[in-house]
């Protein structure tokens, strides 16, 4: 089973063997492009660039699919979470149509890859249904239908949806799809290696610097490149994009049913957060996948309740035989509704990024792959400006904020904490974590199943916000920019690039 950035096991993770690389990276050559991150964005982009004649190296901190790609639900949509009327309002009607076309091109690329490389990932074209359940939602649905049609989608009102959930009005959109994401990503990783590309797993990028070429420092040595792409879901370090991308958690479960009434098409209700439904056959077994209960990272006191609410929802409408898998994962909402794909703000010209996909990263990752390839090949793509990460304005006082918080932390540490006192204070059950107040300071405490206590400085290593405990995934999550740490403080996902500081208990 592959690893993932959480304690729960996703459907894809539970059914996929780790990716075995067939090449070794070479520290003595200058790669044309180093791609940091082996999720769907990194591997999709690497394949296109390698096929276009660039010698590419993918550096993945853990394993291919370790990030949100291993915890997604893999609907492939041109009907996006940010409605086309919002995109039209923020970027103009013409650009809304360009976004719809880019999403359609992304789905064509995925279908083409599946066929060309004969990837057994259950890729199936499907219709999508969006349904309203009250008058207010009906008005919203009408707006979505009208503006989606204007943007070029094949969308009409219909009588009926594939799911047994009551509705008042519904639309159907043609030209959507679904697949098993890890099988797909592993398939294109193989194609990338077959084309001469190189992948290094368990290879974390720590820093970059310039000495004629880009020097990319990792835990396995230094590699050189002309260009570098951060396909890390959110870029590491401190960047203005962190203030433009808000981290959210979403919950999913894969269940088997007592009857065979699995809905073959994709469906969505219109609550905020909304529920999403689809079926996938994995290793010969059919699963209904239902997701929802999204919230801003760190803003839910008990994340296990999110899974309980989702389970109640599924059981209310479907004859559940078994809850086979349940998990959660993270995505990043962009401030103005579109992802940031292109030159990394504040970095030199040879460093690129793709982030801020919201809940449409399966589609937007291929939009990013196509666009980044064109930018790096200097083809001056028409979409470059629309998705430009530098469309954001610098924010005054940004640097000061970081300095100020660093000072506070210095003052905090160097003190010794009484384990006994803290344990009494916290009253933790085995397997539970909590932020506790101790002598006017906060401490992130976790007690493992054997009763061992882990005490951490709760200040996120990224920009010093306090992390929050995520009971469902047994992780410390930062509500500010989405960095996540294991129960023992080890960093799992960026933008933080170091662990939470451990505290010594007396
Ligand atoms: C529950 C849930 C359901 C979703 N469902 C859908 C859906 O149905 N359809 C859809 O379109 N989108 C969906 N999304 C969103 C989509 O899954 C993500 O946008 C997408 O997977 C992001 O892929 P990525 O490759 O950019 O990032 P990731 O998959 O997170 O990959 C980033 C990789 O970078 C690596 N990395 C990070 N830092 C470093 C470093 N310093 N050095 C080396 N490697 C590093 C990580 O280990 C990781 O493997 C969903 C999201 C969630 C949370």
Residue range 352-381, pLDDT digits in tens: 999 999 999 999 999 999 999 999 999 999
Please give the distance, rounded to the nearest whole angstrom, from the Cα atom of residue 429 to the centre of ligand 1.
Answer: 32
Q: What angle do CA 286, 273, 250 make, to 5 degrees?
A: 55
Q: Are residues 418 and 387 in the same domain?
A: no
User: Which stretch of 71-80, 299-308, 387-396, 429-438 has the lowest confidence by average pLDDT?
Assistant: 387-396
Banded model confidence at residue 479, pLDDT cuts 50, 70, 90: very high
Q: Are residues 168 and 236 in the same domain?
A: no
Nearest-atom number in ligand 1 for the CA of 331 is 53
Please give the distance, rounded to the nearest whole angstrom, from the Cα atom of residue 61 to the centre of ligand 1.
Answer: 13
Q: Is residue 328 part of a domain?
A: yes
Banded model confidence at residue 504, pLDDT cuts 50, 70, 90: confident
Please give the distance, rounded to the nearest whole angstrom, from the Cα atom of residue 430 to the centre of ligand 1.
Answer: 30
Please give the distance, rounded to the nearest whole angstrom, from the Cα atom of residue 365 to the centre of ligand 1.
Answer: 9
Q: Are residues 471 and 414 in the same domain?
A: yes
Across residues 436-451, what is the average pLDDT? 86
Q: Are residues 304 and 448 in the same domain?
A: no
Q: Give ligand 1 pocket residues (Cβ under 6 A).
A: 36-42, 59-62, 66-69, 71-75, 204-205, 231-233, 236, 250, 252, 291, 329-331, 357, 359-363, 365, 494
- Residue-wise pLDDT for 212-228, tens only, equals 999 999 999 999 999 99
* pLDDT value of residue 482: 95
Banded model confidence at residue 437, pLDDT cuts 50, 70, 90: confident
- Residue-wise pLDDT for 141-159, tens only, equals 999 999 999 999 999 999 9
Q: Are residues 171 and 304 in the same domain?
A: yes
* pLDDT value of residue 450: 85
User: What is the C-alpha separation between 392 and 309, in angstroms, rounded?
Assistant: 37
* pLDDT value of residue 397: 37
* pLDDT value of residue 204: 97
Q: Which residue's CA lies nearest to atom 30 of ligand 1?
A: 67
Please give the distance, rounded to the nearest whole angstrom, from the Cα atom of residue 213 to the centre of ligand 1.
Answer: 28
User: Which pTM was predicted?
Assistant: 0.91
Instruction: Return the closest-CA partner of residue 65 out of 190, 189, 182.
Output: 182
- Residue-wise pLDDT for 192-251, tens only, equals 999 999 999 999 999 999 999 999 999 999 999 999 999 999 999 888 899 899 999 999
User: Which stretch of 105-114, 235-244, 338-347 has the lowest confidence by average pLDDT?
Assistant: 235-244
User: Which stretch of 166-170, 199-203, 398-402 has the lowest confidence by average pLDDT?
Assistant: 398-402
Q: Are residues 235 and 190 in the same domain?
A: yes
Domain count, the chain: 3
Task: Print the domain residue range for 197.
Answer: 11-71+182-243+338-391
Q: Are residues 126 and 250 in the same domain?
A: yes
* pLDDT value of residue 426: 65
Separation of first and last alpha carbons in the chain? 39
User: What is the C-alpha separation between 251 and 57, in angstroms, rounded?
Assistant: 33
- The CATH number assigned to the domain holding 434 equals 2.102.10.10
DSSP symbol at 272 = S
Question: Strand, coil or helix: what is 338?
Answer: coil
Q: Ligand 1 pocket check: which of 182, 333, 362 to mutate, most ligand atoms within 8 Å of Cβ? A: 362
Domain end point (choices 304, 334, 364):
334
Cis amide leading into 132 (omega within 30)? no
Q: Is the distance from CB of 484 to CB of 493 less than 8 angstroms?
A: yes
* pLDDT value of residue 421: 65
Q: Is residue 199 part of a domain?
A: yes
Q: Are residues 353 and 404 in the same domain?
A: no
Whether residue 415 is predicted with pLDDT greater than 80 in this model: the reply is no
* pLDDT value of residue 403: 35
Q: Ligand 1 pocket check: which of 37, 109, 294 to mutate, most ligand atoms within 8 Å of Cβ? A: 37
Q: Which residue's CA lies nearest to atom 10 of ligand 1?
A: 360
Across residues 492-500, what is the average pLDDT? 92
* pLDDT value of residue 503: 82
Q: Is residue 320 part of a domain?
A: yes
Please give the distance, rounded to the nearest whole angstrom, from the Cα atom of residue 197 to the centre of ligand 1.
Answer: 21
- Residue-wise pLDDT for 63-94, tens only, equals 999 999 999 999 999 999 999 999 999 999 99
Mean pLDDT of the chain: 92
Please give the distance, rounded to the nearest whole angstrom, from the Cα atom of residue 415 to the centre of ligand 1.
Answer: 38
User: What is the C-alpha separation between 203 and 62, in angstroms, rounded?
Assistant: 7
Q: Are residues 469 and 482 in the same domain?
A: yes
- Residue-wise pLDDT for 17-40, tens only, equals 999 998 899 999 999 999 999 999
Q: Which residue's CA lies nearest to atom 4 of ligand 1?
A: 72
Q: Ligand 1 pocket check: which of 3, 40, 67, 369 to mutate, most ligand atoms within 8 Å of Cβ? A: 67
Q: Are residues 194 and 255 in the same domain?
A: no
Helix (H) or strand (E) holding 211: strand 205-211
User: What is the C-alpha separation between 395 and 11, in angstroms, rounded?
Assistant: 41
Q: Ligand 1 pocket check: which of 128, 208, 331, 461 to mutate, most ligand atoms within 8 Å of Cβ? A: 331
- Residue-wise pLDDT for 279-334, tens only, equals 999 999 999 999 999 999 999 999 999 999 999 999 999 999 999 999 999 999 99
* pLDDT value of residue 296: 96
* pLDDT value of residue 410: 40
Across residues 242-271, what is the average pLDDT? 96
Q: Are residues 350 and 461 in the same domain?
A: no
Please give the distance, rounded to the nearest whole angstrom, from the Cα atom of residue 74 to the centre of ligand 1.
Answer: 11
Q: Which residue's CA lies nearest to atom 17 of ligand 1?
A: 72
Nearest-atom number in ligand 1 for the CA of 365 is 26
Angle between helices 84-91 and 135-151 (to 10 degrees): 60
Please give the distance, rounded to the nearest whole angstrom, from the Cα atom of residue 443 to the centre of ligand 1.
Answer: 29
* pLDDT value of residue 163: 98
Q: Is residue 27 part of a domain?
A: yes
User: What is the C-alpha separation between 474 and 490, in angstroms, rounded?
Assistant: 12
- The CATH number assigned to the domain holding 229 equals 3.50.50.60
* pLDDT value of residue 422: 65
Banded model confidence at residue 408, pLDDT cuts 50, 70, 90: very low
Instruction: Return the closest-CA partner of residue 88 out of 337, 272, 391.
Output: 337
Please give the distance, rounded to the nearest whole angstrom, from the Cα atom of residue 101 to the centre of ligand 1.
Answer: 23
Q: Which residue's CA lies nearest to atom 16 of ligand 1?
A: 361
Please give the distance, rounded to the nearest whole angstrom, from the Cα atom of residue 484 to the centre of ligand 1.
Answer: 13
Banded model confidence at residue 427, pLDDT cuts 50, 70, 90: confident
Q: Which residue's CA lies nearest to atom 37 of ligand 1?
A: 232
Instruction: Return the closest-CA partner of residue 230 out of 50, 37, 484.
Output: 37
Q: Is the distance from CB of 214 to CB of 34 less than 8 angstroms?
A: yes
* pLDDT value of residue 436: 87
* pLDDT value of residue 418: 62
Question: How many other CB atoms sit within 10 Å of the CB of residue 272?
Answer: 8
């Amino acid at each position: 089973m592959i690893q993932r950035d959480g304690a729960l096991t996703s459907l894809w993770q539970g059914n996929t063997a780790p990716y075995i690389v067939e090449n070794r990276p070479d520290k003595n050559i200058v790669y044309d492009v180093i791609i940091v991150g082996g999720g769907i964005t990194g591997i999709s982009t690497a394949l296109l660039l390698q096929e276009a004649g660039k010698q590419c190296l993918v550096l993945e901190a853990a394993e291919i699919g370790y990030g949100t790609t291993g915890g997604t639900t893999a609907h492939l949509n041109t009907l996006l979470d940010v409605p086309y009327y919002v995109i039209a309002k923020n970027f103009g009607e013409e650009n809304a149509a360009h976004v719809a076309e880019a999403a359609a091109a992304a789905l064509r690329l995925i279908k083409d890859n599946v066929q060309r490389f004969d990837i057994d990932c259950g890729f199936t074209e499907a219709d999508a249904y969006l349904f309203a359940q009250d008058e207010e939602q009906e008005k919203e649905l009408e707006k979505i239908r009208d503006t989606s049609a204007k943007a070029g989608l094949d969308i009409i009102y219909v009588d009926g949806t594939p799911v047994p959930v009551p509705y008042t009005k519904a639309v159907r959109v043609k030209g959507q799809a679904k697949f098993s994401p890890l099988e797909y990503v592993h398939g294109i990783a193989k194609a990338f290696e077959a084309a001469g590309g190189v992948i290094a797993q368990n290879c974390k990028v720590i820093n970059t610097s310039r000495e004629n070429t880009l020097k990319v420092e990792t835990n396995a040595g230094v590699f050189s490149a002309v260009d570098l792409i951060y396909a890390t879901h959110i870029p590491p370090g401190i960047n203005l994009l962190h203030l433009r991308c808000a981290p959210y958690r979403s919950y999913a479960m894969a269940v088997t049913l007592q009857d065979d009434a699995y809905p073959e098409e994709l469906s969505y209700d219109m609550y905020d957060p909304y529920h999403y439904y689809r079926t996938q056959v994995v290793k010969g077994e059919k699963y209904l996948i239902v997701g929802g209960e999204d919230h801003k990272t760190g803003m839910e006191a008990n994340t296990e309740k999110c899974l309980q609410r989702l389970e109640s929802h599924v059981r209310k409408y479907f004859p559940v035989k078994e809850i086979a898998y349940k998990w959660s994962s993270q995505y990043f909402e962009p401030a103005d509704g579109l992802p940031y794909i292109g030159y990394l703000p504040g970095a030199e010209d040879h460093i690129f990024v793709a982030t801020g996909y919201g809940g449409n990263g399966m589609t937007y990752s291929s939009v990013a792959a196509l666009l980044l390839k064109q930018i790096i090949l200097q083809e001056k793509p028409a979409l470059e400006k629309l998705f430009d990460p530098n469309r954001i304005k610098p924010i005054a006082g940004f640097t000061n904020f970081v300095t100020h918080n660093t000072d506070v932390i210095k003052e905090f540490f160097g003190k010794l904490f009484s384990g006994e006192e803290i344990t009494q204070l916290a009253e933790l059950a085995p397997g539970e974590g909590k932020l506790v107040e101790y002598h006017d300071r906060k401490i992130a405490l976790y007690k493992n199943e054997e009763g061992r206590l882990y005490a951490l400085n709760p200040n996120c290593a990224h920009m010093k916000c306090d992390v929050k405990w995520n009971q469902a995934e047994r992780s410390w999550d930062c509500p500010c920019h989405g960095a996540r740490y294991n129960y023992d403080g080890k960093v799992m996902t960026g933008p933080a690039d170091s662990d939470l500081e451990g505290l010594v208990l007396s």
